Chain A
């Protein structure tokens, strides 16, 4: 069965429209992951051992269990305890929470990569804790984190199709609907693959550019 270019051309606009949802889902879940990840990273540096251990255990658990089942959990269990959300919101919260556990680790590594002497110098120069953090430590800790975070964003982008399983109509699900309506799978599935490939190649090229900038 050959590739029908006419059919492919006719469905391409629909798929491109749907990729906007996929991209939106990526950005929203990335933002959620950045925020939750920050809280987790702060929790991992807490003075209370119980908080540290609890958060460490929870992040390990989330990191070693599948996103798909976590999404099912949110999708099916939350409504039972009275929390109903549109599937898109459930999806981005699930994806964001999953990756926040990785991103917390990025924040931690970034902060630890700043030499201890920087803190000591800040103390010696009579900087307060928060000023030392915002003016001395963070400006050195953040740039090396950026390419790592960007790579996680690309990984998250490639995990958005999992949301199709909780009825979010993103790129993958749109292709699925088109395909199953006419029972023509070759063109929609191949196009989805090509769109993913194109977007992630462009994105990783962008990351490499940023990386080059930062190294200089």
Chain B
């Protein structure tokens, strides 16, 4: 599944990194501790987090993630948007919780 298909199917708003919307999503990961994400998130995953600061983009680039979803109605900082655009990392937002979104997305990745 492409990031743009994921966004359409699960009501995710694309706020930055539009040039990366054709990336393949290979799985998902959820968490807010950056070291834990660095150590364990899978390549090509969509990352669900409440963190909206700019350092999430470097983590996504280094882990070669497909996209970041900021959950819980949070929004990224302007610096995060600039960085995601320059690195072509799709940055999406979701109004509900990470728990709820993870439950909805999970069946897509058996």
Q: Do A and B bind each other?
A: no
